[in-house]
Amino acid sequence: MAPDAPDFSSMRRALVVKLRHHGDVLLSSPVFTALKAHAPHLALDALVYDDTREMISLHPAIDQIHCVGRQWRTLPALAHGRAEWALWQRLRDARYDLLIHLTDHPRGAWLARTLGTQVSVAPRRQGRAARGVGGRWWRSSFTHHYPVIGSGRRHTVETHLDALRRIGIYPQPDQRRLHMEPGAAAWASVDDRLAQAGLQEGSFIHFHPASRWLFKCWPTAQAARLIDALHAQGEQIVLTGAPTGAERDMIDQIIAQCARPPLDWSGRLSLKEMAALSARARLFIGVDSAPMHIAAAMGTPSVAVFGPSGEQEWGPWQVPHRVVSSAEHPCRPCGLDGCGGGKRSDCIERLTVAQVLGAARELLAQPAGR
C-alpha cells in the first residue's frame, strides 16, 4: 500500500468528478462501486455534465449527482456566474473530505483548492501530453496524483481505478464492472415496444452504426450490406441512432440502401431505454460510441468496429466481444479526426462486410447466456 494512503475512517463524504462525454462517464461507474465497497460509510456524490447524468443515475453507490450545464457558457455573463456560484455553494455546503478527479479538466483543481477537502487525487501525465496537468499549479492543487499511461496501453476503466489504487484501494474483479441501471420506466417502455413489434428478448440484434464523431463511423453502404446479410441469415435487426441531424441523415442513408429495411428506432429512445434495449438483444453491433459501452454495461455480447480510436483503451469492457479493426494501417490508433484531419478514416472505411459479419457469426454461435 502507498505509504501516504489516507485513513478513510474519519471521512464522511466524497465527490467524484468526471466532466466528459456519455461513454466516458459510464466508464467511471466502477469507481463508485469499488469506493463504496471499501468504505461503505462514505456518502458518494458525482459531478458531471447535465446531459450525461443518466449514465450513472440510479447507481446504487451514488447518493447525489451534481451537474454542470453544457449550455451555461452560452448564457449572459451574469446568469452564467449565478449558475456557477450556486453549484459551488452546493458543493461547499456538502463539506467533502475526499475529491477524486478523473480528467485533466481545470475545474477539478479549482474545486480541490476551494472546497477544503482533506484528500484530493488527480491524474498526472508526462511530456507533451501533460499540458496543464504537468505544471506546478496543477501538481500543488492535489494531495495525490496517479500516473496515466499513454499510447492506449491501458483500458480507461483501469486508468480510472488507478485513482483509487493511488490512495490504497485495490478494486476486486467483480467491482470493476460497468454499471448502468435503466429503471422501471425504461424497462416497461422497451418491453412494450418489443411486444408491439412482435420481438422477444434474445430474438434480435441491436445495431447502432453512428457516433457523434462521424470519422469513427463505418460507411453507410457497408452498414446496409451487413443488415442485408444478417436478414438473409434470418436475423431481426433493430437500428438505433441519436436524433441529431448528422446521425439522422446517416441512418436514412443506410435504410435507403437496404434491400429490406430494418426496424428503425433511431431518435426515439432515451439513454435509459437504449440500455434496456441492449439488455434484451441477442447481440450488439456498433462503433466506438456510448451505445457500445452501454451494451457492455448490460452484459450484451458485442461486435465493435474500430478505426482511428484504440480498442485497448476504449473497447467493450468485461463482456464477450469481437473487435473488428484494420491490421493494414500501422498508423492506427492515431486518434485523429480522419486521415490528415479530413474527417474520413481510411482504416475504418477499408473494413469489409465479411469481417464484421464473421465476427457477428462467431458471437451468435456461442451458447446463450451472459
Instruction: Identify any residues that bridge with 293 across adjacent strands, giving them in sequence order.
Output: none
pTM for the full predicted model: 0.95
Where would I find the beta strands (DSSP E) of 181-296?
205-208, 237-239, 263-264, 283-287
What's the pLDDT score for residue 322? Answer: 98
What's the pLDDT score for residue 128? Answer: 45
What average pLDDT does range 216-223 have in this prediction? 96
CATH topology of domain 184-364: Rossmann fold (3.40.50)
Where would I find the beta strands (DSSP E) of 76-209?
98-101, 119-124, 144-147, 205-208
In 3D space, the residue among 80, 78, 48, 51 whose CA is nearest the CA of residue 65 turns out to be 48
The grid cell for 325 is: 479493426
In the chain, what percentage of residues exceed pLDDT 90? 90
What average pLDDT does range 203-214 have in this prediction? 94
| Mean pLDDT, the chain, integer | 94
Portions of the chain given CATH number 3.40.50.2000: 8-175, 184-364
Helix 156-166 vs helix 29-38: angle between axes, to the nearest 10 degrees? 30
What's the pLDDT score for residue 28? Answer: 98
- DSSP state string for 26-62: HTTHHHHHHHHHH-TTSEEEEEEEGGGGGGTTT-TT-
The residue assigned the cell 447507481 is 59
Is residue 125 over pLDDT 80? no
What's the pLDDT score for residue 153? Answer: 81
* pLDDT tens per residue across span 38-61: 999 999 999 999 999 999 999 999
- Domain 8-175, CATH homologous superfamily name and number: Glycogen Phosphorylase B; (3.40.50.2000)
Cα 140 from Cα 136, distance rounded (Å) = 6
Is residue 132 over pLDDT 80? no
Is residue 369 over pLDDT 90? no
Residue 50 CB partners (closer than 8 Å, separation 6+): 67, 68, 69, 70
Mapped onto helix, strand or coil, the DSSP state of residue 227 is helix
Q: Which helix (H) or strand (E) holds 302?
A: strand 302-305
